[in-house]
Amino acid sequence: MARPSPINLVSPSHRRRSVSLAALLLGLSTLSSCRLTGSGELPPTSSQTIRTATTYLSDQPLLTGKTAPLAAGKALPNGLAVQAGSTLEYNVGAQCRTFSAQIGLASSAAADSTVTYSVLADGRSMFGPSEVRSGAAPQTVNVDIEGVERLKLVVESKSGAKSVQANWKEAKLSGCVTYSGPIEVGPSATSPIVITGNFRSDDPKVPAIRIETTQPVVIRNCTVAGRGHLISNSRAGANVKIQNCRGFGLNPYVRMVNPGRFVAIEDGSSLVVENSYLKNTGGIYLLGGSTRTTTIKILRNRALNIDGRRSDGAGGWLIPAPGDNPEKFVRAQFVQFNKVVGVSDAEIAWNRVENEPGHSRVEDNINMYASSGTPAHRIRIHHNLIRGAYQYPLSLQSYSGGGIITDGCLSRYIDISENTVLETSNHGIAIANGEYVAIQKNRVYGSGLLPDNSFSGGDDNGIYVRWAGNCDQRGINFGSNIVAYNNIGFAQPSAADRARRRDLAIANARSGTPLATATDNSSALPSDSCLICTDSELIKRAITDWEQQAVASGVEVGTQ
């Protein structure tokens, strides 16, 4: 399959035209501070930085399939007529939020005619198959297609009649934007540099937005899509704030290449990501360096399907076999600190992260690797809702990913508190290495099962503390680690024991000293009971409780 190219959706009242880059990048005083690095249509006006344009599929070119001619005297404004047994495919370019339509058979259909309607987004079933009979009232279809490139509309006959006319009335795309090409942000006479707009890169090696300055850069009210990193820096000392942006990772269409990060900052001084939405990206990545990182704030964001899968080069994903897992995926996280040492103001809070089985490949949702706060200013990870961490494909039973973890030699001065961690397969919250780490007042629940009731492939604990054998234990204050007041119900069922529970495990140091002090932790249910068998609503209640707590705290999560 050839790589799809972006389409340009413009409202009927606008003609497509180029605009100056200065008009596109609000808040910049000099044109030289930003430049386009690739080709692409620019938005018709600078006021349309986030548009809610609507376009009808009847006005868009078909990639494959064909519509049916209408009978004489019949009209179907803004609709599509097809014969049963047809598939229409469109390139929607990751530009729109929803597809909607009214579905039903034409009045000319025989009385015994029956068809099914389906909608597929990048090969994934999003609606149907839904059965429709002749004479029935129209049904409404409303499908989320954010970040989707290929949209398929499928009608199949159930009664055997291929000549019956099936209609997609008012078949429209809503919430559409038009992207410009990738940009580089250089020094400006005005500070901070403020960027709004919609940007896209179809080259996996070129980010949609590249930061090449140490001046404060604010990226807000944007939509960003790309086949590699969406936002990254090429110069040490980057100071970046991202607010109210939507980011979509696209299949790279290059074999063995994975979707890029929503934002990747290496050796930066500050990163703030607030009220944004990430879909099918590799998450948020920070690598420490010679620059002292003072501020990291990851607050009130939503993320769907953190993705470390590698492309097969044809629009699909490579399927690892048991012996070649490392070659077929990368370790992606919602947030990864990598050797970020001594950060004085770091907070990851009130984020909602959800990974769907079979459509994601996250390692640890939040990973603190060889990273640290300070004794007076600890890294604070609190009030996050994390749901899901799964192997890909789901049939593989060996999986090391999970919820929140401190790792590396050595992470320290970290508080992990009041998070809700659900269905994260291998582990919920863990100290793989660390000192002065506190895990307190969290809820960690998992059934150990996939939607089809097969085993999820994990084998570890809801909360665990242990020490990697390759890390030196000399001088480590193991008594500084605290695991307290957590409520845990973490099942790891097996064929031999479907009620097997693994809630909490704290290992000893080589000296025999426990690696953490445990105080007043509790089990969600009796520790010898099957979690889902006993309380099938436990996970749903935990989500509802978190949502209600966010409302009570005045917290709005995601884009506004």
pLDDT at 41 over 60: no
For residue 323, pLDDT beyond 90: no
The CB-side HSE value for 91 (13 A sphere, CA atoms) comes to 14
DSSP code at position 243? E
Taking the C-alpha atoms of residue 80 and residue 67, their distance in angstroms, rounded to an integer, is: 7
In a domain, residue 72? The reply is: yes
pLDDT for the residue numbered 247: 98
Between CA 346 and CA 342 the distance in angstroms is 10
Question: Residue 267: CB partners within 8 Å, gap ≥ 6?
Answer: 236, 237, 238, 287, 288, 289, 290, 291
Same domain, 125 and 190: no
Give the CB-side neighbour count of residue 316, counting CA atoms within 13 A.
8
The per-residue pLDDT for range 256-292, each reduced to its tens digit, is 999 999 999 999 999 999 999 999 999 999 999 999 9
Q: Who has greater pLDDT, 327 or 203?
A: 203
Whether the predicted pLDDT of 160 surpasses 80: no
Same domain? For 391 and 523 the reply is yes
**In terms of Cα–Cα distance, which of 231, 343, 228, 321 is closest to 280?**
228
Same domain? For 452 and 534 the reply is yes
Can you tell me the mean pLDDT for 546-550? 98
Calpha distance 30→189 (Å, rounded): 7
481-528 residue pLDDT tens: 999 999 999 999 888 888 889 999 999 988 888 999 999 999 987 766
More confident residue, 252 or 24: 252
Res 510: pLDDT? 85
Q: Which of 154, 176, 198 finishes a domain?
A: 176
**Residue 38 within a domain:** no
* Torsion over CA: 539, 369, 218, 97 (sign): negative
How confident is the model at residue 304, as a pLDDT? 98
Tokens matching residue 470: 């390759």
- Is residue 73 scored above 70 in pLDDT? no
In a domain, 248, yes or no: yes
Residue 231 structure tokens: 């936002």
- Enumerate residues 6+ apart whose C-beta is below 8 A from 170: 56, 78, 79, 100, 101, 102
182 vs 457, higher pLDDT: 182
Range in 9-13, 60-64, 313-317 the model is least confident about:
9-13
The answer to whether residue 48 is domain-embedded is no
Residues 135 and 216 in one domain: no
What is the domain-level CATH number for residue 331? Answer: 2.160.20
**176, 211, 227 — which closes off a domain?**
176
Please report which confidence band the pLDDT of residue 72 belongs to, taking 50, 70 and 90 as the band edges.
low
Same domain (yes/no): 139, 198 = no
Number of domains in the chain: 2
In a domain, 543, yes or no: yes
Provide the 10 A C-beta neighbour count for residue 26.
Answer: 15
Q: Please indicate, yes or no, if residue 32 is contained in any of the structural domains.
A: no
Among 26, 13, 17, residue whose Cα is nearest residue 222: 26
Whether 199 maps to a domain, the answer reads yes
Q: What mean pLDDT, rounded, does the chain reach?
A: 87
Q: What is the pLDDT of residue 108?
A: 83
**Domain containing 81 — which CATH number?**
2.60.120.1060
pTM of the entire structure?
Answer: 0.90
Torsion angle, alpha carbons of 33, 560, 278, 425, to 10:
150
pLDDT at 346 over 70: yes
44 found inside a domain: no
Whether residues 171 and 202 share a domain: the answer is: no
Of residues 461 and 471, the one with the higher pLDDT is 461
User: What is the pLDDT averaged over residues 342-362?
Assistant: 97
pLDDT, tens digit, 9 for 90 and up, residues 79-98: 999 999 999 999 999 999 99
Task: Dump pLDDT digits (tens) for 375-411.
Answer: 999 999 999 999 999 999 888 877 889 999 999 988 9
Residues 267 and 152 in one domain: no
In sign, the C-alpha dihedral spanning 324, 325, 328, 331 is negative
**Residues 275, 302 contacting (CB under 8 angstroms):** no
Last residue of a domain, one of 176, 191, 220: 176
Q: What is the pLDDT of residue 10?
A: 27
Residues 280 and 147 in one domain: no
Whether residue 239 is found in the same domain as residue 383: yes
pLDDT at residue number 103: 96
Q: 291 or 112: whose pLDDT is higher?
A: 291
CB neighbourhood size of 342 (10 A):
15
Given a cut of 50, whether residue 140 has pLDDT beyond it is: yes
Statement to judge: residues 115 and 196 lie in one domain = no
Domain assignment of residue 230, given as a range: 183-552
Residue 231 burial (CB count, 10 A): 31
Q: Do 208 and 140 share a structural domain?
A: no
308 and 403 part of one domain = yes
